[in-house]
Amino acid sequence: MFWIRPSVKFLKRWLKDYSVDAIVSTGPPHSTHRIALQLKRATGLPWVADFRDPWTQIDFYDQLHLTKWADARHKKMEKEVLTEADAVVTVSPSWAKGLETLVDRKVEVVNNGFDPEDFDKVADVPLKEFSICHVGSMNADRNPLALWDALHRLVREDERFHQKVKVRLIGQVDFAIEQAIQERELNQYVEKVPFMAHADIPAQLKQAALLLLPVNKTPNMDGVVPGKLYEYLAAKRPVLVVGPPQGDTANIVAASGAGKIFDYSEVDELKNQLVQWMAAFEMGTLVVNPEEINRFSRKFLAEKFAEVIFYSIEKQGIKSN
């Protein structure tokens, strides 16, 4: 909060010398929206408030243990932003609906996405192993227990899995996940890579047999759409989702035909699907071609966000540069 006042002071001076068509604030941190709110009040410029995550509806909000005064203060500040911005944007339909319950207005959805050039320069190669790859941090809320249970059975029941399966976890892994893997005696099948440069990730994704996408098991899980999903789609490898079957992530995967979704306890169903994918892997037919993935390219999404900005300008009756 301490950077709000000096930022507003600086930007008021800056705006006297430089002309802009609109203000865009992106949060969290939601203090950016408070800066934009004061600039909006001072200048009257069109303003788009972009919520990459919810504010008081974030899944860990209750864990902050706020006093009644602080809770009321957060909700008051949030409502001011939602009310006074000329347009409000967020990244998933469920989160948009959540924000719309707080204020009587439409909230636009502009998803996260991928850069096609990151994948166009990576050549397709024959798969050498039945690898299941996850990229990014995997915290305790994203522990795909159904997968560990299914693999625990398969590596003992099916010699193909014992010989060919490899789980590659690229990024930080929570101790609870490491413990779950150890308890199921899967350590020999798991490779952990603590860090990898993003430029090297597309090749890793395209060389995997399956791409693992566990969804947070939290109160607002329906609206959780991990940014990595869009790069998974671009890699055109089957996506294995462990999470709510009715969530926004599941809807995108199902609508695009990019993979399969399994609820947190669907061990038998997941196990059977892994057997089918293994058979396709051995036949060389383990491929997907997701439909309409271009609508998640960053060029398309930038155009969509630009339309929101232009709408905000036109709403004010201001002629843009």
pLDDT value at residue 319: 53
> What is the domain range of residue 187?
116-293
Mean pLDDT of the chain, nearest integer: 93
121 and 40 in a single domain? The answer is no
Contact (Cβ atoms closer than 8 angstroms) between residue 65 and residue 37 = no
27 and 123 in a single domain? The answer is no
Query: Is 321's pLDDT higher than 60?
Result: no
CATH code of residue 122: 3.40.50.2000
SS3 170: strand
164 and 249 in a single domain? The answer is yes
160 and 149 in a single domain? The answer is yes
198 and 133 in a single domain? The answer is yes
pLDDT value at residue 318: 56
Q: Which of 122-126, 135-139, 164-168, 251-255 has the highest mean pLDDT?
A: 164-168
Query: Is 314's pLDDT higher than 90?
Result: no
For residue 258, give the nearest of 280, 285, 282, 235 by alpha carbon. Answer: 235
173 in a structural domain: yes
121 and 92 in a single domain? The answer is no
Domain count along the chain: 2
Query: Is 192's pLDDT higher than 70?
Result: yes
254 and 144 in a single domain? The answer is yes
Assess whether the previous peptide bond of 214 is cis (omega < 30° from 0): no
80 and 100 in a single domain? The answer is yes
